[in-house]
């Protein structure tokens, strides 16, 4: 039986990471519930055994049900019937199978019928589901919205909505509007308090809403009359069963076709306030977005994995000039680079997930009891790392989902351009990953402060303190050289910015700086893995350090040769003439 967990030792390796002990203890509050629930783990080994088993089931459902449905779902797609979404046949089967396997509410507390598993396992499940069908992952992965409600909702709201997730309820993150995409502060959908009915009522239009007709929606709406910016926005939860919304249309997309992207009209739709008024965008959407960015990282990685395996298989089977094409340097280099990037990207994704997990659990614990000074410091430490690493992993993995899919299609030659092979679907599906939940350009905006404020640098120094086997001393030296270049780039860019007392130069070079930090960090995370399991990761590390050096050298050359005047040079395009 095909299984996307048991056939992937790199995912299994992530589950066995040393930090898992800390994560499990935090998540389980030192096994406080072991006598309260017969589903609660008795100790660390017991918990890990359950995670492995459940991940194996997830791998089975992904490989045996979701993957075989992917092509039909891509062709059939969802429809609008009587103002509501009808999923493709395969999508419905996928949802039924994944619910039957009990995979709803993976991270939610037991009292809301969740599994109370760590975020790592949810991210892993998303990676495997995305490898099977990224479009399905797109709508199933939205259950991370439940985690935001769990974090900020009242006990009453949680009791009402969270248990439904375990039963298979799907979620939607209802944020964007025709004139509010990247700029969510411009959201206009109105929510007003109806005194007679004792509820908030939603009126307005939402656009580009993934799974917009889902069972439970978190809606960003303007609750403060007369306001025009982020401070007038609140978050509300809407129950589909109210049926006060209509799906005006489903977008005809390039990829992830199984996932319905809806235009919605709300008419006097009752909704309940999540947390405090006016904190909708400032606090809750930011939390939602951070979780979603981790989700897109997982989705992108699943796509990378799927693309790589398609490329590898084709290169082994296809013969030209009397031999399998994998024997040609032009082909095996593409494959080897993809493999190394996947290893590095996976290391970064799960490292980020662990940081997010530790910080989030301390935060949850802080609502249950007062933290000690030491615990508080640890929470802040991991919070900062989570903020710095989340945009980084989203940026790299989503760009690589595209470039790896592109290269793997290239290996297929003309056949890859035909709809006969899955690779064309993977290419189409990947294209959205570096656009939604914040474009790559916006990930750079979120990350650049951590370049200038030193978060990345201090974490690089933490990695430097790590012991590496003697065989990896060459990698350490190369990393040191890259770090020097990084420091030179930062100094130059900041120097010129300060000299001209103007803004724009740092923004102009932001992506180069962020990517340089990213390459160094990923080389370190992969080196850490090679130190533990040299037989599996040394080769990927050796490839990746070469890729990283080339990328850093390019960025360094560009930044070091750049002058303030460059901004004017590049701004000439602003004149707006096509010729």
What residues line the site for another protein (CB under 8 A)?
38-43, 45-46, 49-50, 53-54, 57, 60-61, 97, 100-103, 106, 115, 166
Q: Pick between residue 47 and residue 250 the one whose CB is nearest to another protein.
A: 47
CB of 317 to another protein, least distance (A): 15
Q: Which residues contact 323 (CB under 8 A, 6 or more apart)?
A: none
CB of 101 to another protein, least distance (A): 5
DSSP annotation of 445: H
CB of 99 to another protein, least distance (A): 10
Q: Pick between residue 94 and residue 433 the one whose CB is nearest to another protein.
A: 94
Question: Dihedral angle at the C-alpha atoms of 233, 237, 241, 247, nearest 10 degrees?
Answer: 40
Specify whether the CB–CB gap between 152 and 284 falls below 8 A: yes
Q: Using alpha carbons, select from 181, 178, 185, 183 the residue that is nearest to residue 204.
A: 178
Specify whether the CB–CB gap between 237 and 219 falls below 8 A: yes
CA–CA dist 194, 191 (Å, integer): 9
HSE of 570, CA atoms in CB hemisphere, 13 A: 11
Q: Using alpha carbons, select from 107, 114, 105, 75 the residue that is nearest to residue 91.
A: 75
CB of 170 to another protein, least distance (A): 17
HSE of 395, CA atoms in CB hemisphere, 13 A: 25
Q: Pick between residue 63 and residue 289 the one whose CB is nearest to another protein.
A: 63
CB of 5 to another protein, least distance (A): 12
Q: Pick between residue 54 and residue 236 the one whose CB is nearest to another protein.
A: 54
CB of 102 to another protein, least distance (A): 4
Specify whether the CB–CB gap between 219 and 275 falls below 8 A: no
Specify whether the CB–CB gap between 557 and 376 falls below 8 A: no
CB of 40 to another protein, least distance (A): 8
Q: Pick between residue 39 and residue 75 the one whose CB is nearest to another protein.
A: 39
Angle of CA points 343, 350, 355, to nearest 5°:
145
Q: Pick between residue 101 and residue 286 the one whose CB is nearest to another protein.
A: 101
CB of 189 to another protein, least distance (A): 36
Q: 216-222 and 171-174 as β-strands: parallel, antiparallel, unpaired?
A: parallel
CA–CA dist 207, 568 (Å, integer): 36
Q: Pick between residue 46 and residue 375 the one whose CB is nearest to another protein.
A: 46
Q: Pick between residue 64 and residue 251 the one whose CB is nearest to another protein.
A: 64
Query: Strand locations in 149-260, DSSP E?
Result: 171-174, 190-194, 199-210, 216-222, 233-239, 245-250
Q: H-type helices in 199-328, by residue range? A: 286-317
CA–CA dist 85, 334 (Å, integer): 40
Q: Pick between residue 116 and residue 424 the one whose CB is nearest to another protein.
A: 116
CA–CA dist 140, 386 (Å, integer): 23
Q: Pick between residue 166 and residue 289 the one whose CB is nearest to another protein.
A: 166
CA–CA dist 429, 164 (Å, integer): 29
Q: Using alpha carbons, select from 482, 427, 467, 365 the residue that is nearest to residue 22.
A: 365
Secondary structure of the chain: what % helix, strand, coil (to 5)?
Answer: 65, 10, 25
Q: Pick between residue 38 and residue 225 the one whose CB is nearest to another protein.
A: 38
HSE of 96, CA atoms in CB hemisphere, 13 A: 9
CB of 54 to another protein, least distance (A): 5
CB of 326 to another protein, least distance (A): 22
Q: Pick between residue 140 and residue 486 the one whose CB is nearest to another protein.
A: 140
CB of 348 to another protein, least distance (A): 27
Q: 171-174 and 79-81 as β-strands: parallel, antiparallel, unpaired?
A: unpaired
> How many Å is the Cα radius of gyration of the chain?
24
Q: Using alpha carbons, select from 261, 262, 352 the residue that is nearest to residue 300.
A: 352
Q: Pick between residue 105 and residue 297 the one whose CB is nearest to another protein.
A: 105
Q: Pick between residue 121 and residue 455 the one whose CB is nearest to another protein.
A: 121
CB of 27 to another protein, least distance (A): 14
Q: Which residues contact 557 (CB under 8 A, 6 or more apart)?
A: none
CB of 147 to another protein, least distance (A): 17
CB of 111 to another protein, least distance (A): 14
Q: Tell me how far apart the terminal alpha carbons of the chain are, to the nearest angstrom.
A: 58
């Amino acid at each position: 039986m095909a299984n996307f967990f048991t056939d992937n030792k790199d995912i299994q390796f992530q589950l066995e990471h040393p930090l898992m002990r800390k994560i499990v203890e935090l998540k389980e509050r030192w096994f406080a519930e072991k006598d309260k629930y017969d589903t609660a783990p008795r100790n660390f080994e017991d918990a890990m055994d359950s995670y492995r088993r459940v991940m194996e089931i997830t791998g089975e459902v992904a490989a045996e049900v979701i993957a075989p449905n992917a092509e039909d779902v891509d062709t059939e797609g969802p429809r609008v019937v009587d103002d509501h979404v009808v999923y493709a046949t395969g999508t419905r089967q996928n949802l039924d199978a994944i619910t039957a396997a009990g995979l709803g509410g993976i991270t939610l507390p037991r009292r809301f019928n969740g599994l109370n598993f760590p975020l790592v396992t949810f991210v892993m499940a998303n990676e495997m589901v995305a490898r099977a069908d990224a479009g399905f992952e797109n709508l199933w992965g939205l259950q991370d919205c439940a985690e935001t409600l769990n974090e900020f909702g009242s006990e009453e709201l949680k009791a009402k909505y969270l248990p439904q997730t375990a039963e298979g309820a799907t979620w939607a993150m209802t944020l964007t509007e025709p004139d509010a995409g990247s700029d969510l502060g411009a959201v206009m959908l109105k929510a007003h308090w109806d005194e007679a009915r004792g509820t908030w009522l939603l009126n307005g239009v939402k656009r580009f809403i993934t799974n917009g007709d889902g069972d439970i929606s978190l809606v960003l709406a303007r609750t403060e009359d007369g306001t025009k910016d982020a401070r007038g926005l609140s978050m509300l939860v809407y129950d589909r069963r109210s049926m006060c919304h209509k799906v005006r249309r489903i977008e005809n997309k390039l990829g992830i076709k199984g996932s319905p992207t809806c235009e919605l009209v709300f008419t006097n739709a009752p909704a309940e306030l999540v947390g405090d008024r006016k904190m909708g965008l400032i606090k809750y959407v930011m939390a939602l977005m951070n979780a979603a960015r981790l989700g897109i990282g997982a989705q992108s990685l699943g796509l990378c994995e799927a693309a790589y395996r398609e490329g590898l298989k084709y290169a082994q089977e296809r013969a030209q000039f009397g031999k399998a094409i994998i024997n040609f340097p032009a082909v095996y280099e593409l494959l080897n680079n993809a493999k190394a990037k996947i290893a590095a990207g996976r290391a970064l994704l799960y490292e980020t997930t662990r940081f997010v997990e530790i910080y989030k659990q301390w935060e949850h614990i802080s609502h249950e009891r007062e933290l000690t000074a030491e615990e508080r410091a640890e929470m802040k430490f991991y919070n900062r790392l989570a903020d710095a690493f989340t945009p980084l992993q989203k940026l790299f993995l989503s760009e690589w989902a595209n470039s790896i899919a592109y290269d793997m299609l290239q290996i297929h030659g003309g056949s890859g351009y035909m709809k006969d092979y899955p690779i064309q679907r993977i290419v189409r599906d990947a294209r959205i990953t570096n656009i939604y939940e914040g474009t790559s350009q916006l990930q750079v905006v979120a990350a650049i402060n951590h370049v200038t404020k030193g978060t990345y640098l201090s974490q690089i120094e933490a990695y430097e303190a790590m012991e590496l086997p003697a065989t990896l001393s060459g990698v350490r030296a190369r990393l040191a050289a890259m770090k020097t270049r990084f420091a030179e780039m930062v100094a130059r860019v900041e120097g010129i910015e300060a000299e001209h007392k103007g803004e724009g130069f740092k923004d102009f070079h932001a992506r180069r700086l962020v990517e340089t930090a990213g390459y160094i960090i990923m080389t370190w995370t992969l080196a850490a893995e090679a130190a533990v399991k040299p037989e599996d990761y040394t080769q990927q590390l050796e490839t990746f350090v070469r890729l990283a050096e080339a990328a850093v050298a390019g960025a360094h050359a560009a930044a070091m040769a750049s002058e303030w005047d460059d901004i004017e040079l590049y701004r000439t395009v602003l004149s707006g003439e096509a010729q």
